[in-house]
Structure 1
């Protein structure tokens, strides 16, 4: 047991570092997108540009790795690509696209609270895919999170039904996304255990998924926009492109940190570890962003966080119990 202590410490420190990076990039990107979409009302088109930029970055990194280490990079067969990667790519594209679209209609606080329900859907899909075991106590977690969200949105002055449906749909699809991503990252037989390889293979199908939505919903308005194609001068167009690229880089760093957390732990752990991030995001939204909240909404916030915290406690207890059982069996073997 003592022999594994240094390795466990390194693993814990590495996981904490990844989670802190995930917090930082996620909070920055949330407020950046909200600010950007106030003046640039094309979230689907921006998401599409972000996907293309991330594809270019991952392709560049893979090529550098090939040249430096003189090793072949991972390429999947078309059959494996369509069967293994496409479900994850489609769900990822819809999750990101719908999440960004919802910023046009709802506040950061409502977005954050609604997106926190992703833990329910991750739990459901993880049980369905047999990544997690079902326990009766998990029903209380679902009830608390759902009830907290209901109270948080009750008589909210900034509530928008369409935006709420968008972000809740993104939360549902996000649950599927992370359960599928976990199966890919943690299965060596797939060959995409490296997050850079996974992101590289995801982006093309993500772009194909979002392109029709962006063209149909935003195409005509974007073509007539004075911010891009009909900009007054080249400088304005380049400034808009620069702002979009900043979001793309933040999105790449966020995705990379998320996939590394899932690789080290699980998609459920990624959602659970977001508790402190959600509190930070909501605190900034209420104090600096001007979001409003009444007493009932605040009670909903407390109930929702209590539900997620309960799940953290249950998860920690299960891990502790599992490790204790391993140590006991190890000691028995040593005694024998």
Structure 2
């Protein structure tokens, strides 16, 4: 019994960095929208693949190369194009959204490690969510108490009548349900592929978000911003083409018997595990 409690407490401690990174990613992204537009925030958040690569190098999920460095520079150039001549530029909004991009790269790298390393026993996405979500909720609650004006809660136009309360609760429940299934889908993708697959889907999601912001919220969309977004998407596409070629070469290097018995998933190779396999006695 004591051993089980110890293992559970250790596991909770292990997922804390991932939960903190996820909570900061979400909260910093939301905080940035107080200062900048949805379009500008979405474009700046497209820098997340850069930080994903950096953390992948640090956690030995990926080996550095000049090709990857070039791809990172292309993505960085796209981010600079989105910021250039921004008429609604706000320093704190830009800082918040860029910090969110850093946290995004960190949390997806950590999520992949937790989902794919056997030692943690968290290969089931729902199991990982059950450990991560309470810590996320606690940190979000503390940040809300520290930064939000709870004294204005009763006078808010969202809760000043029974009809507004019902509508607001419905929107919260609906948005929360969508967010739950979105995160669950992302975790499933990471568990069977890699964090970069989520990045591919994220680029499509960002493009849709920008279109909605332009047509529904009437955000300004210039040709310079469009060029920056296209450059970012081109850089991410190059990165995924690079990964596809690398994985294809690795598959060709596997002997016929191994290929017939096991399917090699398209995911980051955790170099630490490869080193362990090479040094272990046969």
TM-score by length of 1: 0.70
Mapping of residues 216-295 of structure 1, within 5 Å: 216-227=146-157, 231-295=159-223
How many positions carry a matched residue from both structures?
256
* Residue 61 (structure 2) aligns with: 131
Query: Is residue 2:84 matched to residue 1:158?
Result: no
* Residue 140 (structure 2) aligns with: 210
TM-score by length of 2: 0.83
Query: Is residue 2:242 matched to residue 1:314?
Result: yes
Report how far residue 216 of structure 1 moved.
Answer: 1.3
Query: Is residue 2:24 matched to residue 1:98?
Result: no
Report how far residue 324 of structure 1 moved.
Answer: 2.2
**Quick one: distance in 1 between partners of 2:214 and 2:179?**
24
Q: Write out per-residue CA displacement over residues 256-288 of structure 1, whole angstroms, 9 at most, x where no aligned residue.
A: 011001001111221134333333333343344
Report how far residue 331 of structure 1 moved.
Answer: 7.9
Give the aligned CA root-mean-square deviation in angstroms: 2.4
**Quick one: distance in 2 between partners of 1:172 and 1:91?**
9
Q: Write out per-residue CA displacement over residues 153-176 of structure 1, whole angstroms, 9 at most, x where no aligned residue.
A: 111223222222111111101111
Report how far residue 200 of structure 1 moved.
Answer: 1.0
Query: Is residue 2:256 matched to residue 1:330?
Result: yes
Q: Write out per-residue CA displacement over residues 285-334 of structure 1, whole angstroms, 9 at most, x where no aligned residue.
A: 334442223333232222222211211211111122222222xx328999
**Quick one: distance in 1 between partners of 2:61 and 2:188?**
17
Q: Of 224, 228, 244, which residue of structure 2 is paired with 1:300? A: 228
**Quick one: distance in 2 between partners of 1:333 and 1:86?**
37
Structure 2 unaligned residues grouped into runs of 5+: 261-282
Report how far residue 112 of structure 1 moved.
Answer: 1.7
Query: Is residue 2:74 matched to residue 1:148?
Result: no
* Residue 41 (structure 2) aligns with: 111
* Residue 78 (structure 1) aligns with: 9
Q: 203-212 vs 219-228, which deviates more? A: 219-228
SS at match of 1:232: coil
Structure 1 unaligned residues grouped into runs of 5+: 1-73
